[in-house]
Amino acid sequence: MLRILATDGIDKSARDELESMGHEVTEQYFEPEELKKALADYDVVVVRSATKVKAPIIDAAADAGRLKMIIRAGVGVDNIDVDYAEAKGIKVRNTPNSSSASVAELALAHMFSLARFVGISNVTMREGKWNKKNYTGVELSGKTLGLVGFGRISIELAKKATALGMKVLYTNRRGPREDFPEYGYSTLEELLRLSDFVSIHTPSLEGGKALIGMNELKLMKNTAYIINCARGGIVDEEALLQALESGDLAGAGIDVFVEEPTKNLALINHPRVSSTPHIGGSTAEAQERIGGEIVEIIKTSF
């Protein structure tokens, strides 16, 4: 019997299955200092993006000697010091296959929201304004979508964008992919210059460095839009706000922020920003699939 702690919740069907296997599942969030103590009593901890498992927490868990595995209920593991945990004898796993479609759909939703003023018109109509003449948008069909990073989420988004009549370009640190000849490969600089919409799908850079800063934003068309449903800090928030204020960029869709909950009110309240509170994987279907992957990881690991 394993004691499993889910600090950011777990799908009910996964919890029921784990308990039917004889395991004990606790759903409770702990602040970092409390988490250090709590992990002494658990074999497995399941986290989402809200819980950070860094060196001090890993040290405490390793010293206690019980924790065997950290599972990230999602794709990215940059909220976990993976190498450090593995070096301490604590395995780290994630669920890379479960939320790709959900994140891709949210990126697409932000594209529609920006292109047709869905977000801001909803706000102004609630204020009693009828700004019809201000909201002449653009169609996605015929536009070029540039994908920065070309993993599972980007591939899902590319398929959906192609169905809408968009041309898809991508750049990828490993170079062009022979298994997707239907999409065009380019350098980051070329992609930024050519794309009408740019969607970011890469892990965080070392040290929290921005991949897209002022220099990169200046390469983009002033009619272009940028979407970040990847990680906070990949796009420099200050540079992005400046580009929006100066008119160098038409708009931005943002699901992830440097600090969460974000205090960057100037950015999220900008009329050309579509913002959501890190909900890329927050669909019932994705959470059920994630739960299934967690169960499978535990079944095959213990």
Q: Which residues are marked as active site?
A: 231, 259, 278
The stretch 217-229 carries a mean pLDDT of: 98
Instruction: Give tens-digit pLDDT for 140-189.
Output: 999 999 999 999 999 999 999 999 999 999 999 999 999 999 999 999 99
Same domain, 187 and 231: yes
Instruction: Give tens-digit pLDDT for 44-56.
Output: 999 998 899 999 9
pLDDT band, residue 296 (cuts 50/70/90): very high
Same domain, 216 and 296: no
pLDDT band, residue 114 (cuts 50/70/90): very high
Same domain, 75 and 135: no
Same domain, 153 and 290: no
Same domain, 143 and 222: yes
Instruction: Please answer whether residues 172 and 146 qualify as being in contact, where contact means their C-beta atoms are separated by less than 8 angstroms.
Output: no
Nearest CA-CA partner of 92 in 71, 122, 114: 71
Check residue 208 and give its pLDDT. 83
Same domain, 156 and 127: yes
pLDDT band, residue 41 (cuts 50/70/90): very high
What pTM value is reported for the model?
0.91
Instruction: Compute CA distances 57 → 39, 54, 87, whole Å.
Output: 8, 6, 14
Question: Is the peptide bond prior to 96 cis by the omega test (within 30 degrees of 0)?
Answer: no
Check residue 206 and give its pLDDT. 82
Same domain, 164 and 294: no
The stretch 251-262 carries a mean pLDDT of: 96
Check residue 207 and give its pLDDT. 81
The stretch 233-258 carries a mean pLDDT of: 97
Q: Does the pLDDT value for residue 245 go beyond 90?
A: yes
Instruction: Give tens-digit pLDDT for 54-94.
Output: 999 999 999 999 999 999 998 888 899 999 999 999 999 99
* Domain residue limits at 246: 100-275
Mean pLDDT for the chain overall: 96
Same domain, 106 and 244: yes
Check residue 137 and give its pLDDT. 97
- Vertex 207: Cα angle to 205 and 211 (nearest 5): 35
Q: Does the pLDDT value for residue 36 go beyond 90?
A: yes
Check residue 134 and give its pLDDT. 96
Strand order in the sheet with 225-228: 184-185, 167-171, 144-148, 197-200, 225-228, 251-254, 273-275
Q: Does the pLDDT value for residue 96 go beyond 90?
A: no
- CATH value at residue 195: 3.40.50.720
- Record the tokens describing residue 9, joined without a space: 């919740």
Residues contacting residue 176 through CB under 8 Å, at least 6 positions apart: 185
Check residue 87 and give its pLDDT. 97
User: Which residue reads 């065009």 in tokens?
Assistant: 184
User: What one-letter code names the amino acid at 96?
Assistant: P
Same domain, 178 and 225: yes
Question: Are β-strands 197-200 and 144-148 bridged in parallel, bridged antiparallel, or unpaired?
Answer: parallel
Check residue 1 and give its pLDDT. 94
Same domain, 221 and 118: yes
Question: Across-strand partners of 2?
Answer: none
> What is the domain count for the chain?
2
Same domain, 182 and 254: yes
